Copies of this chain bind each other. A is one copy, B any other.
Amino acid sequence: MFSVTVTPRFGDTDALGHINNTALPGWFELARNPLFAMFPPERDFTDGTFSLIMAHTDFDFLGELVFGAEVEIRSWVSRIGTKSFTILHEAWQKGELRCRGHAVIVHYNFKTRETLPLPEDKKAALARHLRRED
């Protein structure tokens, strides 16, 4: 598991008084920073050598998230395929699971626009965070 704590900002709320659903994608993206570190580009992110592309995200909103209390984002690798893998994210606030979601990420060569097999060392690194879903 990797964990990151997010402090909601006031602008994350909407007129209904709770955290707007569009805040979650950014929080889950933040939780994927360790993945960016596992697959570093050669020089920087603008040089065309970064090798991950987002294929899918989903979000189940299970309870209202509020301003004024920290949110822990817990993340696991829930699937390791030959060319892609899935991240499972959970947002916990005040001891309750409030949102759960996934990101399906594909290993990809942006220059040739081809999918790439996941190298064995990357699979092993991902497997250290594995939590299969039922």
Contacts and interface: CB of A to CB of B under 8 A. Distances in A.
Contact of A46 (B9, B15, B32, B58): B15
A24 B44 CA distance: 22
A3 interface: no
A21 B57 contact: yes
Interface residues of A, number: 40
Interface in A11-39: 11, 13-18, 20-26, 29-30, 32-33, 36
Q: Which has the most chain B C-beta neighbours within 10 Å: A20, A24, A44, A58? A: A20
A29 B9 contact: yes
A10 interface: yes
Q: Which has the most chain B C-beta neighbours within 10 Å: A7, A9, A45, A58? A: A9
A26 B9 contact: yes
Nearest to A24: B25
Interface in A44-91: 44-46, 48, 50, 53-61, 67-68
**Interchain residue pairs A-B with the least CB separation, the first 6:** A15-B45, A58-B58, A13-B15, A46-B46, A11-B20, A9-B30
Given A10-B14, A11-B22, 6 more contacts: A10-B20, A11-B23, A14-B14, A17-B44, A46-B46, A54-B61
